[in-house]
Structure 1
Amino acid sequence: MASTVDYTVDSDRATALVTLDRPDSLNTLNDRLIEELCDAIARAEADDEVRAIVLHGAGDEAFSAGYDITPAGEDGEEEDPVPSVDDLLDEFDAATDHVHAVWECDTPVIAAVDGYCLAGGSDLSMACDLVIASEESEFGYPGLRMAGVPPTLIYPFVMNLHEAKELLLTGKVVDAQRAAELGMVNRVVPRDRLMETVFAEVEEIRKMPGNNVRILKQVLNGTAEMQGAKPMFKFSELFDALGHHTEYGKEYYRIAATEGFDAALEYMNERNKGTRPPE
């Protein structure tokens, strides 16, 4: 079975290249890819010759369009399209391992984003230490129009509260330039200069003492954790599981399983017009 994550080391640049390799599925995150991504991050961190990790998606359509929510089991047979709360809790706990792996990795991780960077894909990119995006990139969490919250609520820790609300209270998708204005992206460049720009940042990192870079990353991420990042990561998993189990969330799953995701999204868009929370 083909790997879903490609791992290579560019020795000249002291860089591990980690590629999400499911281009036919817009590099969506399934259980296998998440496990292989965690392994790749650990492998790079254990390599003393690697000074930086570059994370990108195969193809030019997507960094990652988020979690793979196709209603099928690992053997390809359809499961119950409406998972239980317990199933969702187990799923979301395991489904965020890769975000924690990137966040906790001592080696700097740079996201090279080209194309869609949505939902769980945006969580992953923002857990990285730097984000360089092509002009064709798009960011956001459109799945929130169905239910739930981002299972790793990292948005308020990379942008201010009003900016986080602009995205999360609407579920809208923004272009790369707006993402940079919101603080999701460090730099926006033409597609043909993306990797050149990423490796230029790697060279800047390599001018620093390696142990000092590790210390600085721990201190900076630790500051966010002292402000509540780690507890919020956990709480958001719980809230996401519960949010997916609303009556309309269940109906979304059923429609997606029987009629497809376009029909499910159309259902949610129509349902949500003028909808108020129950009294």
Structure 2
Amino acid sequence: MGVSTSSPGKGLALVTVDFPPVNALPVQGWYDLADAVRAAGRDRDVRCVVLAAEGRGFNAGVDLKELQSDTGHARLIGANRGCQEAFAAVYECEVPVVAAVHGFCLGGGIGLVGNADAVVASDDAAFGLPELDRGALGAATHLARLVPQHLMRTLYYTSRTVTAAELHAHGSVWQVVPRAGLRAAALALATEIARKDGSLIRMAKAAINGIDPVDVRRSYRFEQGFTFEAALGGIADRVRDTFGKAGAP
């Protein structure tokens, strides 16, 4: 359980997340993920990183039970900072990152996938931001990298999800495959990328980030301010209590 890194092929690093039962990450888990992705990107033998997960789904966001067990705001601050670091680690990784997404990709999962360079998904994958149902805000920055602006707003306000096939139609998912073939498909794409010159692929990543019209760190940090405001005002606890009674997805 936790975050692990392996080398499935020449020039490749596979970072795998495994936090049963639904990959809702505790505060330390986000930092561990950030450290693993950054370390993989610093390895000069690595030319592409694949980010994957075990279990029922790719990612269910932050561990709400951990947040609710805190009588103060230390864990909320930790989750905010941990998510910020994990999302930034994917975006700022020195080499391209391919996300291999299966099952559900919710909340913080959107932050990871939205900052990835390429996305391969299984045909059972669903993507969404249920933040308003969970007493939080955030990751609209990253959802806006996956879908057009008005669709992002509608998905955000309704907490609805979209399928991998729908994201493929929008061009944000590279390939949709049966779940059994997901890991192989993601590694195949990563292998194709890793055949490029190592120094040049790192330059390409830096160049593409440099022309990005949105500063994802600053944009997401702005959103997080409203999450903290909701917590201070008691709104977050009220909504989370309702969510807890209804049950997790």
* TM tier relative to shorter chain: 0.7 to 0.9
Q: Secondary structure at the match of 2:46?
A: coil
Larger radius of gyration: 1
TM-score (normalizing by structure 1): 0.79
Kept in 1, the 8 Å contact 2:14–2:50? The answer is yes
Shift in Å at residue 38 of structure 1? 1.8
Shift in Å at residue 191 of structure 1? 1.3
Equivalents in 2 of 1:179, 1:87: separation in Å?
33
Q: Secondary structure at the match of 2:29?
A: helix
Q: How many residues align?
A: 248
Q: Percent identity?
A: 28
Equivalents in 2 of 1:198, 1:151: separation in Å?
24
Shift in Å at residue 183 of structure 1? 4.2
Shift in Å at residue 184 of structure 1? 4.0
Shift in Å at residue 140 of structure 1? 0.3
Q: Secondary structure at the match of 2:217?
A: helix
- Is residue 49 from structure 1 mapped to residue 45 from structure 2 by the alignment? yes
TM alignment of 1:230-245, pairs within 5 A: 230-245=217-232
Deviations 1:72-103 (A, max 9, x none): 68xxxx432xx55x864454133321111111
Question: Partner residue of 1:131?
Answer: 119
Kept in 2, the 8 Å contact 1:52–1:109? The answer is yes
Equivalents in 2 of 1:202, 1:255: separation in Å?
42
Equivalents in 2 of 1:53, 1:185: separation in Å?
17
Shift in Å at residue 158 of structure 1? 3.7
- Is residue 8 from structure 1 mapped to residue 3 from structure 2 by the alignment? no
Shift in Å at residue 55 of structure 1? 0.9
Question: Partner residue of 2:70?
Answer: 79
TM alignment of 1:157-172, pairs within 5 A: 157-172=145-160
Kept in 2, the 8 Å contact 1:134–1:189? The answer is yes
Q: Secondary structure at the match of 2:141?
A: coil
RMSD: 2.4
Question: Partner residue of 1:215?
Answer: 203
Shift in Å at residue 243 of structure 1? 3.2
Kept in 2, the 8 Å contact 1:152–1:234? The answer is no
Deviations 1:196-241 (A, max 9, x none): 21122122212322222212222222222x4343321221111222
Change (3 A) 1:184 1:29: farther
Q: Secondary structure at the match of 1:159?
A: coil
Question: Partner residue of 1:99?
Answer: 87
Task: Please point out which of 17, 20, 33 is paired with 2:14.
Answer: 17
* Consecutive unaligned residues in structure 2, runs of 5 or more: none
**One-letter amino acid matched to 2:237:** K
Equivalents in 1 of 2:135, 2:16: separation in Å?
29
TM-score (normalizing by structure 2): 0.88
Question: Partner residue of 1:276?
Answer: none
Equivalents in 2 of 1:39, 1:87: separation in Å?
19
